[in-house]
Chains A and B, each alone.
Chain A
């Protein structure tokens, strides 16, 4: 029993413009020409592993977590770990593995009612960022990034490995500013299907997960 009681808290913190991203429906203010408002951030974190000396010591079962900046309780969860072990690193996937993507209806965070499933071309959306900026020459100045795709050539799942500083809690920052800086809001404000662009942008998405100082 005692072993099960040892847990590591993992908390994700989506940071934007110097603070935790707050999704507010009531953005009504006059935007400056270069403002970029982010009003949606969701992503799947899956297949979490804890590693020590290059060995995988912990593999979370049914490891699928949907992070949603609008629902703060989704941003942190706990992992069962072994008492007294100090792990070197955590490894996880951004997205949903291909096997699960072709295995039919799932429950929990993978339930297709969660708004993270393409209906016209089966598969999970791994990473969603949406918002508004006057620099986007689109309907209502919106930009929409729905990244996913599980089929070979442009399979968009990304593995992330980060060092572990403490065996009781870890904070992982999601640097939304960096994503917004690296994507092309002017020429590519919409990516909503699997393919070359989604693959390229998923690579960018994987680089914004960082250990908090």
Chain B
């Protein structure tokens, strides 16, 4: 009897360490990274909420005719962006005006969209749901649909202790899933952490030197962006007339400025720029080398052009490919829920 009771108490002790799906999960900040901007105290992560967010992310129920999900334009295998499409297409193949952003490391982002129009991650999903070229729907009607759906009733009950979907619960669940999409295990990261047996090749190392000298003032490590808005000398596309940040602030000094995007997984997030005008990294290099238009508010760092020899461009691209995080791209936790 004594032995049995000891065994039971050990079992019970071990049992308390098993995470329930409602237990709060601490968001892990990779070593050497800044603290995230997102306030997790207002939306503490739990497995049930993350899973609900993932279910929503992959569900076309969000669009008017139930054809388009978040994942339609943000594929996990291509760093959560829409590869091969310069401008992303939504419902009934309608074409938007911008290239979809890579949804990675968003816990650190102070704003969202190419022009920073969205001030909080929770509110981001409202834009594509309502946009006539994307999901062409209304968040209130999405919530109605979820409240009539048995599988969502049980998912909301598990996540929120209440089967009723509300705008707040819905948006916070999406945020939870998006917040877990962290990429921090590229070859670059492994080299920086000094992992045994991992080193840049000569070419990559030379590319890294080029990068630090010529790119890193805007694409600041380790997130590879400083979250500023810059005019990077792109000519105006007269079919779009997209003024960028100026459309948000109404201020002419922001004309043609767009968010500096992170370069993590840049190998897989083609095409490039806010309108996806460059299909390959080499075209991006050529743009900074000799393709820029001298707008009045061209970023200071770009005045005088980034002149790289052909070899230097090859080296820089070799370095940029070390920002690919294969483990991230193939992570089951981020793919279509089973």
Which A residues contact B (CB, under 8 angstroms)? 101-107, 111-115, 117, 119-123, 195
On whether the beta carbons of A119 and B130 are closer than 8 Å, the reply is yes
Q: Is B117 in the interface zone, CB < 8 Å from A?
A: yes
Cα-based distance from A117 to B129 in the complex (angstroms) = 13
Set of chain B residues within 8 Å of A102, measured between Cβ atoms: 119-120
Residue from A101, A120, A195 having most chain B Cβ neighbours under 10 A: A120
Set of chain B residues within 8 Å of A107, measured between Cβ atoms: 166-169
Quick one: which of A105, A115, A195 contacts B123, CB cutoff 8 A? A105
On whether the beta carbons of A121 and B248 are closer than 8 Å, the reply is yes
Between A and B, 9 residue pairs with Cβ closer than 8 Å are A105-B122, A105-B171, A107-B168, A111-B168, A112-B139, A112-B168, A120-B130, A121-B118, A122-B117
**DSSP majority for the A interface?**
loop
The answer to whether A119 and B143 touch (CB under 8 A), given A104-B120, A106-B168, is no
Q: Which residue of chain A is the closest to B115 with respect to CB atoms? A: A121
Cα-based distance from A22 to B155 in the complex (angstroms) = 40
Cα-based distance from A122 to B124 in the complex (angstroms) = 8
A-B contact sample (5 more), CB < 8 A, given A104-B175, A113-B139, A122-B117: A102-B119, A102-B120, A104-B122, A105-B123, A112-B126
Give min CB distance, A89 to chain B, whole Å: 33
The count of A-to-B residue pairs whose CB atoms sit within 8 angstroms is 70
Residue from A104, A106, A121, A195 having most chain B Cβ neighbours under 10 A: A104
Give min CB distance, B270 to chain A, whole Å: 26
Set of chain A residues within 8 Å of B17, measured between Cβ atoms: none
On whether the beta carbons of A103 and B42 are closer than 8 Å, the reply is yes
Set of chain B residues within 8 Å of A114, measured between Cβ atoms: 140, 167
On whether the beta carbons of B119 and A123 are closer than 8 Å, the reply is yes
Q: Which residue of chain B is the closest to A107 with respect to CB atoms? A: B168
The answer to whether A122 and B39 touch (CB under 8 A), given A107-B166, A112-B167, A112-B171, is no
Cα-based distance from A120 to B131 in the complex (angstroms) = 8
Cα-based distance from A122 to B248 in the complex (angstroms) = 10
On whether the beta carbons of B123 and A122 are closer than 8 Å, the reply is yes
Set of chain B residues within 8 Å of A119, measured between Cβ atoms: 123, 126-127, 129-131, 139
Cα-based distance from A107 to B117 in the complex (angstroms) = 22
Give min CB distance, A101 to chain B, whole Å: 7
On whether the beta carbons of B123 and A112 are closer than 8 Å, the reply is yes
Cα-based distance from A102 to B172 in the complex (angstroms) = 14
Q: Is B43 in the interface zone, CB < 8 Å from A?
A: yes
On whether the beta carbons of B119 and A122 are closer than 8 Å, the reply is yes
Closest 9 CB pairs of A and B: A104-B122, A113-B167, A105-B122, A105-B171, A107-B168, A119-B130, A111-B167, A119-B126, A122-B119
Set of chain B residues within 8 Å of A106, measured between Cβ atoms: 168
Q: Is B223 in the interface zone, CB < 8 Å from A?
A: no
On whether the beta carbons of A117 and B126 are closer than 8 Å, the reply is yes
Cα-based distance from A105 to B174 in the complex (angstroms) = 11
Quick one: which of B117, B140, B167, B250 contacts A105, CB cutoff 8 A? B167
Cα-based distance from A113 to B172 in the complex (angstroms) = 13
